[in-house]
Chain A
């Protein structure tokens, strides 16, 4: 089960490296146009990147924590949170207890930071502490612990800094290019060859930030899925995280102290717009509904179980890790799901009201002669009485369903 984390990490590293290549290319062209020396441009790009990386590496976590106005707590300040973090620390086999921070904000969110597992912190909002039950909190903390354990924080910091450097350099270069009417090269006249280089360079300046962003989002979303999978493995209870995600998604409050730079650190994208599923390319986080669906479809708690649910939910062949790595995980028989905790069990009586409302709504639909088709992805389709076809396509997952026999 640890092998696929490595396999997944390898893919992330390849993506990150391609981002680095983009950065080098930009530096090269910058130097070529403005400094008459491609190598100096290359070195300049590396220096800018290096300085930003050093800041992120040594000051990143304290910067992030002070930006979000988090305060550190000890065991006595909030024994419940402290205990839950310690439980997840034990389950994940992390060697050092991470520092715990609380952000006084009624929004529901959490993040992990720290460049390596021996110097890590988790931060949760006070809203999250108030709204989630023990199992749900455990799922969220497990997700954050997975980010620490899988060293996502460092990887994402490297990626974010690289993206930032690329954006800054490209922005600066286009400014200079448009306001000065081209670099020094163009006035010297380089013939057809020079023109081609110029065209490639301009194309690169426009495309590189977009490409880098796409790479960044791809890496980030992969890490999110893997952290969900690991959380399920640690808690042996994917339902906890699933219902936590639902609660977070349903909360209308946005985090006050979040900004674009810190967004990917959170469990849930703090900038999501209500009612809109995150689009595929421009989101650091996978859509919540999909994460919930995958977690709910798990038949066991192992990473292989998550992988299977992931592939079924997304209808893709590519899972979160190569099949060879997952075959290993199948040998683990001891990854059965556990029961909800006593606290959650007593709280379960609450949803009755929702159930009743749902029944009433079902009845209203039936009265109007609408038919209801249940899709395996959890979506309920209402089919109008005017609909004459035999099959209907689920708008959510794309499965084709038969209307026959539905009522």
Chain B
């Protein structure tokens, strides 16, 4: 009689422990995912901050590219104003900003003086790296989502996920395939 109680009690305790460990694991993965999402914002914000500096440096050299420059400024301001808005509209604005920037950096080729400017070279490195960082932070976010979703879907952790109503994470989808590539910043 006592033996049976011990066995049942032991199983209950084990199940409870399993529940706690799995649940905490899921929470940890979700926090990691949210943190990864916040990291994308950090990098996007860095891009907003770099653009005024870039404009300031480029202004004196690029007399004939007023339109290209205005397009970048406009895209930046639009993206920044949508920063707290819906994900879809925002990602479109960010894509547009990426495109405008790469156009601007492409015409730099026609300005040898500018390409020799130390200040510009430093900014170019920062911009190119920020583009990479945006890409890598999105990539890491997706990796985190994958890890969490695997846990949510697979047995036995899926039981705990279902009991606690744990939702799957959403992948970050890149709308245009070209967008994944950084703007063509040339280092020649």
Contact = CB atoms under 8 A, between A and B. Distances in A.
B179 to A, nearest CB: 12
Given A1-B147, A87-B136, A91-B139, A342 B126 contact: no
Interface string A218-238: 000000000000000010100
Interface residues of B, number: 31
Interface string B144-188: 101100100010000000000000000100000000111011111
A339 B137 CA distance: 17
Contacts of B188: 346
Interface string B17-46: 000000000000000100010010001000
Interface string A77-109: 001100110111011110000000000000000
A343 B187 contact: yes
Interface size range of chain A in the complex? 20 to 34
A90 B39 contact: yes
A331 interface: yes
Please indicate which of the listed interface residues B126, B132, B184 has the most CB atoms of chain A within 10 Å of its own CB. Answer: B132
B65 interface: no
Contacts of B180: 338
B187 A90 contact: no
B122 interface: yes
Contacts of A341: 132, 182
A387 interface: no
Nearest to B121: A79
A234 B129 CA distance: 15
A331 B39 contact: no
A338 B39 contact: no
Q: For the complex of A and B, list the 3 residue pairs with the smallest distance between their C-beta atoms, beginning with the closest.
A: A83-B129, A91-B136, A343-B187
Interface of B: 32, 36, 39, 43, 122, 125-126, 128-129, 132-133, 136-137, 139-140, 142-144, 146-147, 150, 154, 171, 180-182, 184-188
